[in-house]
């Protein structure tokens, strides 16, 4: 089954902010944000145990508990097991994501891509999400931004562990699809080169956006489309940099990135195009992309995302971006 057959729409909800990403979000605000997404017709919700050490899953489970389970799709991730034991949050080493969830729960996070740990991770997610099933499981952060030079060893651990466990769960009908949820292109490229096992989908965060898409376009996107697989694009606003935020890739945006944003914004303003619409529609134009999942921590952000998704962007805008060298010549553009 293809990813596009599984997902109920092209606009989903990325739950990382619900895990107190960068700030402590009041419980009522988090729940209201999920409710706003539901009321706007969003029916695909992506989560992960890492987001606040289970906090995002707990909040989403609470928010969706009263909704008809057959009407929405959940993806979550494996590679981490959340324990009841408490740890020192300041001592965690989360690679480039260190400090991102400093306001999350203090429950101990165990990194484990093994077979049994994968099954335990799924069980923990089901309990926190208060559901009897998830549709899609992504193997999380199996890349150099989290593991540095050790990422190949962790990939091998997942190849003999998590990949086989998820393949079995898919074959048994427990999940509908599995793949990688990463911020880098190389792990996807490596997995696609393996004869077995065969993934169904990928969640690629930050690597197929208006601000950063060349490497993904060169290395994996055409192959994914050719194989009939699908991509969920996470972080279509590049950690907020595209829409005026200070961060790019979980760190302060560089002068080069800020200059690129300013150049895109100048063209967008000439055509009356919002920056959110530019980001969403660019990502969705690639035939490999099945959905985009902006993250939101406030209800009003949901309305902005839905409006951007519905916005009609003139073809001349894309032509001007290309003429200015702001999109790769090979990048598919919206019709």
Give catalytic residue positions: 46, 51, 77
User: 């134009």: which residue's tokens?
Assistant: 285
* Burial (CB count <10 Å: 0-12, 13-18, 19+), residue 259: exposed
Integer Cα distance of 237 and 218 in angstroms: 21
Mapped onto helix, strand or coil, the DSSP state of residue 41 is coil
In order, the DSSP letters of 79-108 are SEEEEEEE--GGG---GGGTTTTTTS--EE
Residue 314: what are its φ and ψ, rounded to 5°? -65, 145
d(CA 115, CA 163): 8
Element housing 181 (H / E): strand 177-182
Tokens 């596009």, located at residue: 4
**What is the rounded distance in angstroms from the CA atom of residue 73 to the CA atom of residue 43?**
6
Give the C-alpha separation, 110 to 126, whole Å: 17
Q: How far apart are CA 87 and CA 326, in angstroms?
A: 45
């Amino acid at each position: 089954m293809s990813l596009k057959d599984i997902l109920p729409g092209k606009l989903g909800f990325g739950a990382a902010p619900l895990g107190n990403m960068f700030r402590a979000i009041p419980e009522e605000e988090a729940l209201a944000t999920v409710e706003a997404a539901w009321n706007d017709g969003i029916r695909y919700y992506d989560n992960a145990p890492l987001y606040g050490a289970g906090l995002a899953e707990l909040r989403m489970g609470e928010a969706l508990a009263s909704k008809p389970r057959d009407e929405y799709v959940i993806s979550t991730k494996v590679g981490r097991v959340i324990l009841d034991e408490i740890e020192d949050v300041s001592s965690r080493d989360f690679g480039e994501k260190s400090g991102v969830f400093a306001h999350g729960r203090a429950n101990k996070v165990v990194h484990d891509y093994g077979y049994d740990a994968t099954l335990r991770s799924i069980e923990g997610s089901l309990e926190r999400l208060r559901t009897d099933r998830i549709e899609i499981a992504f193997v999380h952060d199996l890349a150099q931004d989290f593991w540095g030079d050790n990422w190949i060893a962790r990939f091998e651990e997942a190849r003999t562990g998590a990949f086989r466990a998820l393949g079995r769960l898919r074959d048994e009908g427990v999940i509908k699809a599995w793949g990688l949820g990463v911020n880098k292109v190389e792990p996807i490229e490596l997995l696609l080169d393996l004869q077995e096992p065969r993934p169904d989908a990928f969640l690629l965060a930050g690597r197929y956006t208006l601000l950063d898409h060349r490497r993904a376009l060169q290395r994996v996107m055409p192959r994914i489309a050719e194989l009939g697989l699908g991509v969920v694009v996470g972080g279509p606003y590049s950690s907020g940099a595209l829409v005026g935020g200070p961060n790019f890739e979980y760190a302060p945006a560089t002068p080069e990135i800020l200059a690129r944003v300013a150049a895109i914004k100048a063209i967008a303003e000439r055509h009356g195009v919002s920056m959110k619409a530019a980001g969403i529609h660019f990502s969705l134009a690639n035939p490999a992309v099945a959905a985009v999942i902006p993250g939101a921590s406030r209800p009003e952000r949901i309305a902005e995302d839905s409006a951007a998704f519905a916005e009609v962007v003139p073809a001349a805008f894309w032509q001007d971006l290309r003429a200015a060298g702001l999109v790769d010549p090979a990048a598919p553009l919206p019709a």
